[in-house]
Structure 1
Amino acid sequence: MDTKTLMFFALFHLIFFLSPSINNALSTRKIRARKPYKSLVFYFHDIIYNGKNSHNATAAIVGAPAWGNKTILASQNLFGDLVVFDDPITVDNNLHSTPVGRAQGFYVYDKKDIFTAWLGFSFVFNSTEHKGSLNFAGADPLMNKTRDISVIGGTGDFFMTRGIATLMTDSFEGEVYFRLRTDIKLLFCFLYTTGGDGGSNLSYYHSATLAVVHYI
């Protein structure tokens, strides 16, 4: 054999014998979960209009299947109902507590055979502690005790944030009222700060390293 052929076979055998060790090392390596840089818990309260409660309803059916109507939620696991809501947000589970913002968006019941929904909504804050909004989207398998949806963005204090929100049904009364506990874990975001010279800085917070990078 010539020199090039010998070198090829030597390299081939080296890779062949080393590959199991590399694969084992990769398979046994643990993937560390990111720790959130910020955690928040809120409750939002949904009161669906049922034809008799227009004075305090915070949600309304705006779309229904052929066998349903816009006053009573449909049969077959509510499949086909589209509900728009403007719900109060509180920091505890008391409906009568002072709201810190509004949960605004919609949910649609999207399966006949399983009680489940798809959500798209925002938390719009108006308190002294938080300004701006958080945006959420994802599937909500309602029969599970806890469900995760994505935090897909935000404004103000939560500019361009990303994270996970864990939902839990904290209470419900028939098909008229329910209360959701929302446990929010933010993984990173950008924050505006004002410098001593009056200029604005844009800071990037990341949960993996807790590093802060400043942008002019």
Structure 2
Amino acid sequence: MASQVTCTLFTLQFILFSYFFTISSGAFCEERAEVIAIKRVEKTTHLHFFFHDIVSGENPSAIRIAGPDKSSFGDTMMADDLLTEGPEISSKPVGKAQGLYALAAQNDISLLMVMNFAFTEGEYNGSSISILGRNQILNDVREMPIVGGSGLFRLAHGYALAHTVWFDEQENCTKMATFIPFILYSVVFSTFFSAINSKFSEQSPITMKDMEKKTSLHFYFHDIPGGKNQTSTVIARPINMTAASKSFGSTFMADDMLREGPEPTSKLVGRAQGIYGFASQQNAVLLMVMNFAFVDGIYNGSSLSILGRNAVFDNVREMPVVGGSGVFRLARGYALAKTFSFNLNTGVAVVEYNVSTNGKFSEQSPMIITTKRMEKMTRLRFYFHDIPSGKTPTKMRIAGPAKTTADSFGSTFMVDSPLTEEPEPTSKLVGRAQGMYAFASQHDAGLLMVLSFAFLEGTYNGSALSILGRSPVFDNVKEMPIVGGSGLFRFARGYSLSKTVSFSQKNQNAVVEYNVTVVHF
């Protein structure tokens, strides 16, 4: 008989006593909760380094992996860029920027950035931070959200300020200075480390008021996949698409209008810029990696970042807001989406969005709320089955450089993998891992992971967790950030520790054990 997955929930409160009680039990998860006294210890770390992006020559650090044939809109690059202490390429290396960036605007040069900064120097060697945001590269200074981290940056969130030092038009080389102040949340696993006086980093304690501000937004998302006023375009499809897979793996770049009302003539309030892709083989489920960039009123110039799972035939879909910029700096929240109209002939869709965000620095938000809420820490264990071939493959290659092997730099896969209670493929199904991963390193097997874990069993049925991180596949244990969640995991932050249980050299099938720790309300 398969052993049960054990989850332990700790309810966090600022109180002076503790006690135990039983909540519930089920096949997927047995839960207990402990009320304990705990204080959040936060530190601000400032990092200063230079990002070298080289797209041509003998040793490019970024290559094109996807995009339409007739337009630059949607062009997608996989990067393995050097991070250095100074602007010279010969300066001391401090890490690598690994991930993808893509042209996500039709009328200006705005990039979708889905990136992990993996550090290799000093105290931060082996730690990383994850960025999901919008990079308007012609602006003097651009702000992008930090939505998670690993190692010393576990549970981190904050922001990056980027400034272009110079750009070589002939060589297409860019050097970008990046200043990153961010807050490290040490909720239970408190990590203390001493200040370092160097060009690369410095640290200082931060005092945070126990107050947040809440903002509620209501607007309509207009997606036009064809015609004269097209706002989204296909950038990648499975290389070996079959009738059974249909649209699985098809990936689109969107620059969709956000309007005050459902009418196409309604007032423009922003743009939805980013990627959505079909991430399920059985249902119409989209992976959403999107920035909502606002252009109206007090939110003009601010943005929100979304990473989640959109089951388009559900009446109401919830997706996590994992970060923001401007007024929404350090934002966390959720978006509730509901299809208002869909034209079967043209594919034009209008979707109503109700977005709720909490942020510590949203000075213009209308409501102040306290954050003395009950927090829980949930632990989950399950097994991820990656099956690249056979009658029922769980992934498809959707993008990558031509004439290369499937495991080469830039190769990108759409995934719909089962999550089971035990490592055997016949074990009880507890969820699906849906999203994409890509080979994002030129020198080792380092993956960019952009996934939603959608649970189907017991208490967590209908809830999901969002992961954005870096997985060095040959490491014994890999840590990746949990940057958001939906359902019972709304406002979640945490981390996953994964370990390969088995790998078949013959058919490349892999089973990976995941131990996930999540803090949520």
Question: Do the aligned partners of 1:105 and 1:120 also contact (CA within 8 Å) in 2?
Answer: yes
Matching residue of 2:232:
59
User: Is the partner of 1:40 in helix, strand or coil?
Assistant: strand
Question: Do the aligned partners of 2:316 and 2:337 also contact (CA within 8 Å) in 1?
Answer: yes
Please state which structure has a larger fraction of its residues in helix: 1
Which structure: larger Rg? Answer: 1
Deviation at 1:128, TM superposition (A): 2.3
Instruction: State how 1:85-104 maps to structure 2 within 5 Å.
Output: 85-104=254-273
Q: 1:38 aligns with which of 215, 228, 252?
A: 215
The question of 1:82 aligning with 2:259 is answered: no
Q: 2:371 aligns with which of 200, 208, 212?
A: 208
Matching residue of 1:124:
293
Question: Residues 189 and 170 of structure 1: is their aligned pair in 2 closer, same or farther, counting only changes over 3 Å?
Answer: farther
Q: 2:330 aligns with which of 156, 160, 178?
A: 160
Please state which structure has a larger fraction of its residues in strand: 2
Counterpart Cα distance in 2 of 1:154 and 1:191: 10
Q: 1:186 aligns with which of 333, 338, 357?
A: 357
Deviation at 1:92, TM superposition (A): 1.3
Deviation at 1:189, TM superposition (A): 3.4
Deviation at 1:190, TM superposition (A): 1.4
Deviation at 1:187, TM superposition (A): 2.6
* Cα shift readout 1:63-118 (whole Å, capped 9, x = no counterpart): 112366xxxxx974521100000011112111111211111011010111111111
* Cα shift readout 1:6-27 (whole Å, capped 9, x = no counterpart): xxxxxxxxxxxxxxx9526988
Counterpart Cα distance in 1 of 2:244 and 2:343: 17
Scaled by the length of structure 2, the TM-score of the pair is 0.29
Deviation at 1:191, TM superposition (A): 3.1
Counterpart Cα distance in 2 of 1:24 and 1:106: 42
Question: Residues 80 and 62 of structure 1: is their aligned pair in 2 closer, same or farther, counting only changes over 3 Å?
Answer: same
* Cα shift readout 1:136-172 (whole Å, capped 9, x = no counterpart): 1101112211111111111111111110111111111
Percentage identity across aligned positions? 26
Q: 2:343 aligns with which of 141, 153, 173?
A: 173
Counterpart Cα distance in 1 of 2:261 and 2:372: 31
Question: Residues 184 and 36 of structure 1: is their aligned pair in 2 closer, same or farther, counting only changes over 3 Å?
Answer: farther
Matching residue of 1:141:
311
Counterpart Cα distance in 1 of 2:306 and 2:370: 19
User: Is the partner of 2:328 in helix, strand or coil?
Assistant: coil
User: Is the partner of 1:80 in helix, strand or coil?
Assistant: coil
User: Is the partner of 2:342 in helix, strand or coil?
Assistant: strand
Question: Do the aligned partners of 1:188 and 1:207 also contact (CA within 8 Å) in 2?
Answer: no
Number of aligned positions between the proteins: 164
* Cα shift readout 1:112-142 (whole Å, capped 9, x = no counterpart): 1111111011111111231211111101112
Question: Do the aligned partners of 2:255 and 2:271 also contact (CA within 8 Å) in 1?
Answer: yes
Matching residue of 2:444:
none
Question: Do the aligned partners of 2:333 and 2:355 also contact (CA within 8 Å) in 1?
Answer: yes
User: Is the partner of 1:190 in helix, strand or coil?
Assistant: coil
Question: Do the aligned partners of 1:187 and 1:207 also contact (CA within 8 Å) in 2?
Answer: no
Question: Do the aligned partners of 1:115 and 1:142 also contact (CA within 8 Å) in 2?
Answer: yes
Question: Do the aligned partners of 2:322 and 2:332 also contact (CA within 8 Å) in 1?
Answer: yes
* Cα shift readout 1:12-51 (whole Å, capped 9, x = no counterpart): xxxxxxxxx9526988x9xxxxx982211111100003xx
The question of 1:106 aligning with 2:275 is answered: yes
Counterpart Cα distance in 2 of 1:167 and 1:124: 17
User: Is the partner of 1:114 in helix, strand or coil?
Assistant: coil
Counterpart Cα distance in 1 of 2:234 and 2:339: 20
User: Is the partner of 1:187 in helix, strand or coil?
Assistant: strand
Matching residue of 1:214:
none
Deviation at 1:186, TM superposition (A): 1.1
Counterpart Cα distance in 2 of 1:164 and 1:96: 27
Question: Residues 67 and 42 of structure 1: is their aligned pair in 2 closer, same or farther, counting only changes over 3 Å?
Answer: same
